[in-house]
Chains A and B, each alone.
Chain A
């Protein structure tokens, strides 16, 4: 299994000026790794829609890479989005799926089908151009530059070591809930000025 921060580090090395959309636990680790926060969108208030938001950006800004850092629990809420993405087949769309087999932010309850889901198989059967799967840190880090140089849509499935939130629940404040809309406007301005 791979640590979250190692996936984030490998993606950061390859992100360039890509827009990065994150869900749930990935947001925490990406925030620590990212050197272009003005191009990052955390979607913790979207209930599984990170892939759809990223897809909209990808087809609206086809000259810009979009990296979606999804969770397995998040993506099964919106599994049809794989078909929708493949229907347009955006070459700039990179879909990273962190597979911990559980709902980490609610205390670690297993997701339906945990351990039995063939994520690369789902992506390929849906029409993604390519899909890769990693459970070894070194192999992932070695392969990431080549993969990120390919045309999408691509799924990168990573088997990660679970990091369970122990305080049971996402703590929300007015300030934390304002982050996603503010970051969306930041990315919108960045794309407008490009």
Chain B
């Protein structure tokens, strides 16, 4: 059912439908409502101590023939920059990263540097991305997984809104 925002259940269902086996994550204010839903989804939640570990762990899971996804905040993606370079792009890792878009205002002007630098960062790392703000846009998740597989590279789905419900 279409909503004006994102619901965790619809989002998790969409991710699980892609065959994701593990979600490597550190909760943040954009994606925290998904945590309980994810733990009940059949996907294994892998908690990390700091976001820089996420892509390396995802690489290990991929080597073990699992299908991981990463879910972290934009500030944590910056921390993960070298891992994205060496262990994502550098090894041709097909990976979808769900990134909480902290500071996103929908009209561009934002005082939060985590938001200001997110899209330039992804362009610099040559990483395609889609922005999702409502359940109506969840089809973009399918596009992201398709792109990751076709290119064998990391791609990002930016979570541009906090969840309206679980």
Contacts and interface: CB of A to CB of B under 8 A. Distances in A.
B56 A56 contact: yes
Contacts of B58: 56
B86 interface: yes
Interface in B64-107: 64-66, 68, 82-83, 86-87, 90-92
B47 interface: yes
A181 B63 contact: no
A124 B22 CA distance: 26
Contacts of A54: 60
A60 B49 contact: no
Interface string B29-47: 0000000000000001011
A1 interface: no
Contacts of A59: 22, 44, 46, 60-61, 64
- Interface SS, A side: helix
B53 interface: yes
Interface stretch (A40-48, A95-103, A132-140, A148-156): A40-48
Interface string A68-94: 000000000010110110011000000
Interface of A: 41, 45-47, 49, 52-61, 64, 78, 80-81, 83-84, 87-88, 177, 180-181, 184, 187-188, 191-192
Interface of B: 21-22, 24, 44, 46-50, 52-53, 56-66, 68, 82-83, 86-87, 90-92
Given A52-B53, A53-B57, A180-B91, 17 more contacts: A49-B53, A49-B56, A49-B87, A56-B61, A56-B64, A56-B68, A57-B63, A57-B64, A60-B60, A60-B64, A78-B52, A80-B50, A80-B53, A84-B49, A88-B46, A177-B90, A181-B90
